[in-house]
Amino acid sequence: MLPLKDRGLLIVISGPSGVGKGTVCSYLRLEHPELAFSISATTRPRRNSEVDGENYFFMSREEFMVRRENGDFLEWAEVYGNLYGTPRWAVEATLARGQDVVLEIDIQGALKVKEIFPEGVFIFLLPPSKDELEKRIKGRAQDSPDTIRYRLSCVDQELAVINEYQYAIVNGQVEEAASEIKAIISAEKCRISRYKELEYWKGGNTCD
């Protein structure tokens, strides 16, 4: 097993619906190919622009429930009537190889991951304003009016959990938000706690 300082970081990027998690993570994926991105499983219908196995692992509700019972998911949650889950084995294997893993995930899922991986890096994306968030949700042109109203009704509740995270980033400009996330990752790599397994850390001699 790799020493702690060489193991990958679990980076959880979350925030309210419409804040731009997918856009920021797409930019990170292009600019930082050294990062691994977890692919979630979901029961929601596939959109025309999405590819199975790349955007999500699309499956029926029945298959999802069987996999859940078998402990195949790191976390799972029901969001807006659909089930989402993170394949546990893939995340753990990647971290053990020393590669950082990014989870772009909803708030419910992020809080469940925190219970299992409290040592993870939890980043909350904020919109520049609530008005801007509403504009983004309405402007995506991929949800029904009922879904849009429901997402908007959840905003205050979603924002209220921000204290469960270690970091907050305002997603005004995608490039700036991605740069701040990368800076957080670099800083986390330098935490003292990641070096305490080294032999020379134990010391034994004192200076006079």
Share of the chain residues as helix, strand and coil, in percent rounded to the nearest 5 = 45, 20, 35
Taking the C-alpha atoms of residue 146 and residue 87, their distance in angstroms, rounded to an integer, is 30
Whether 109 and 10 have beta carbons less than 8 Å apart is answered as: no
CB atoms within 10 A of CB 151: 20
The total number of residues written for the chain in this structure: 208
Burial of 193 from C-beta contacts in 10 A (0-12 / 13-18 / 19+): exposed
- Which residue positions form the known binding site for ATP? 15-22
- Which residue positions form the known binding site? 15-22
